[in-house]
């Protein structure tokens, strides 16, 4: 079963990569911009996040110290396009407070910390959950941490590889147990999952006839729900 399961994860990656090609994630100019994007993308589309980041850049606020010192109302106004802007402004503040408290504002120093230790500390920051923490670790810190999101759960439960009720940690463990611990692989794999979830494996009416995973040999883990 273990070998069959590992082959399935690798087969899915190969088919997605052949279908979509490299995704060049995360789309950002700096590591701090990646972190801001990871926080702002909660419960909104990436296009909304891009507008918010552009407004932060225009206002010369895309900097840890400037966000730390910024008036909360001004910060919320700058990220209005991201939705839940008052809440997300507080979350950005919370992260910068954490960064300066523990690492004197230095991302270099922060990412020198051990992965599990840093992950635990990030999860203690109010407003940063598992997906956001792992996105920060993988895409800003180049740490080999697999990011699980709603698309991952949807696609892999439909193919019978995970159960819909599986926890974040259980799903993440499936990937890390069946793939080499490689940040480049994890980066590309997650980005490809997002591409499939956004364009084909849709929430309400999946386009199964054109899905590149239609012929994947699924391990007998759960019953597949793909049409």
**pLDDT reading at 213 higher than 70:** yes
Residues 19 and 88 in one domain: no
Per-residue model confidence (pLDDT) at position 215: 85
Average the pLDDT over 135-143 and give the result. Answer: 98
Half-sphere exposure of 171 (CA within 13 A, CB side): 24
Say which residue, 189 or 2, is predicted with more confidence: 189
Please say if the pLDDT value at position 1 is more than 50.
no
**Model confidence at 9: pLDDT above 50:** yes
CA–CA gap between residue 62 and residue 196 (Å, rounded):
31
On whether both 58 and 157 belong to a single domain, the answer is no
**Hey, what long-range contacts does 14-20 have (CB within 8 A, 24 or more apart)?**
15/212, 15/213, 15/216, 16/189, 16/192, 16/193, 16/195, 16/196, 16/212, 16/213, 17/188, 17/192, 18/212, 19/212, 20/192, 20/195, 20/196, 20/212
CA dihedral 46, 178, 208, 49 (to 10 degrees): 0
Q: Where are the alpha helices (DSSP H) in the chain?
A: 2-20, 31-40, 46-58, 64-69, 72-78, 85-103, 107-111, 115-123, 130-135, 150-158, 168-178, 183-199
DSSP code of residue 21:
-
Per-residue pLDDT averaged across 154-170, rounded?
A: 95
Across 2-11, 28-37, 137-146, 157-166, least confident range: 2-11
- At 6, the pLDDT band (50, 70, 90 cuts) reads confident
State whether 115 and 39 are in the same domain.
Answer: yes
- What interhelical angle do 115-123 and 85-103 show, nearest 10? 140
Q: What is the pLDDT of residues 83-136, one digit of tens each?
A: 999 999 999 999 999 999 999 999 999 999 999 999 999 999 999 999 999 999
Whether residues 18 and 36 share a domain: the answer is no
Is residue 226 in a domain? no
* CB-based contact 57:99 (threshold 8 Å): no
Residue 5 has pLDDT above 90, yes or no: no
Same-domain pairing of 179 and 107:
no
Specify the pLDDT at position 164: 86
Q: Tell me whether residue 76 is in a domain.
A: yes
Give me the CATH number covering residue 18: 1.10.1670.10
pTM: predicted TM-score of the whole model, two decimal places: 0.93
The yes-or-no verdict on residue 70 having pLDDT over 50 is yes
Mean pLDDT of 22-51: 95
CA distance 147 to 130: 8
**Is residue 93, in this structure, part of any structural domain at all?**
yes
- Any idea what the CATH number is for the domain that residue 79 is in? 1.10.340.30
**Structural domains counted in the chain:** 2
Per-residue CA distances from 139 to 6, 28, 46, 81, 144 (Å): 24, 10, 15, 23, 9
Average pLDDT score over the chain: 94
Range of the domain at 166: 2-24+147-210
Whether residues 168 and 102 fall in one domain: no
Does residue 215 lie within any of the structural domains? no
Which distant-in-sequence residues (6+ apart) come within 8 Å of 173 by Cβ?
Answer: none
pLDDT at 220 over 60: no
Both 93 and 194 in a single domain?
A: no
pLDDT category of residue 225 using cuts at 50, 70 and 90: low
Q: How much of the chain, in percent, has pLDDT values that exceed 70?
A: 94
């Amino acid at each position: 079963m273990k070998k069959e399961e590992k082959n399935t994860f690798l087969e899915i990656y190969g088919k997605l990569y052949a279908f979509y090609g490299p995704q060049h994630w995360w789309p950002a100019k700096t590591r701090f911009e990646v972190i801001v994007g990871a926080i702002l993308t909660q419960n909104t589309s990436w296009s909304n996040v891009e507008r918010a980041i552009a407004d932060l850049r225009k206002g010369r606020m895309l900097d840890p110290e400037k966000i730390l010192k910024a008036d909360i109302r001004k910060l919320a106004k700058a990220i209005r396009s991201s939705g839940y802007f008052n809440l997300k402004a507080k979350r950005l503040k919370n992260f910068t407070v954490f960064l300066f408290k523990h690492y004197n504002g230095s991302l270099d120093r922060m990412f020198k910390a051990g992965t599990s230790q840093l992950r635990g500390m990030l999860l203690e920051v109010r407003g940063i959950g598992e997906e956001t923490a792992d996105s920060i670790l993988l895409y800003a810190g180049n740490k080999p941490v697999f990011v699980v999101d709603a698309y991952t759960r949807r696609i892999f439960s439909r193919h019978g590889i995970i159960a819909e009720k599986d926890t974040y940690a259980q799903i993440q463990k499936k990937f890390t147990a069946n793939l080499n611990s490689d940040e480049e692989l994890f980066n590309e794999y997650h980005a490809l999952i997002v591409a499939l979830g956004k364009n084909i494996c849709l929430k309400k009416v999946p386009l199964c006839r054109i899905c590149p995973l239609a012929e994947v040999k699924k391990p007998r883990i759960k019953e597949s729900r793909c049409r």
